[in-house]
Amino acid sequence: MSSAFRLVEITTENVEDACRLSVRPDQQRLVQPVAQSLALAYAFGERAWPRLVVDGEEIVGFLMAFFDVPFDADPPGVTRDGLWRLNVAAGQQGRGVGRFAVEEVARELRRRGRRTLTTSWHVAGNGPEPFYRRLGFRPTGESVEGEIVGELDLGAPGTG
Whole-angstrom Cα distance, residue 66 to residue 84? 6
Among 97, 109, 152, 154, binds ligand COA (CB under 6 A): 97
36-95 binders of ligand COA (CB under 6 A):
86-88, 93-95
Does residue 105 belong to the site contacting ligand COA (CB under 6 A)? no
CA separation for the pair 9, 130 (Å, rounded): 28
Where do the H-state alpha helices sit in the chain? 15-20, 34-44, 97-111, 129-134
Distance CA 33, CA 20 (A): 9
| CA 49 – CA 127 distance, rounded (Å) | 23
Q: Which of 5, 18, 21, 30 binds ligand COA (CB under 6 A)?
A: 30
For residue 36, give Cα distances in angstroms to 41, 79, 105. Answer: 9, 23, 20
**How many residues bind ligand COA, per CB under 6 A?**
19
CB of 77 to ligand COA, least distance (A): 26
Of the two residues 113 and 160, which places its CB atom closer to ligand COA in the complex?
A: 160
By CB under 6 A, what part of segment 106-145 binds ligand COA?
A: 121, 128, 130-131, 134
List residues binding ligand COA (CB under 6 A).
23, 27, 30-31, 86-88, 93-99, 121, 128, 130-131, 134
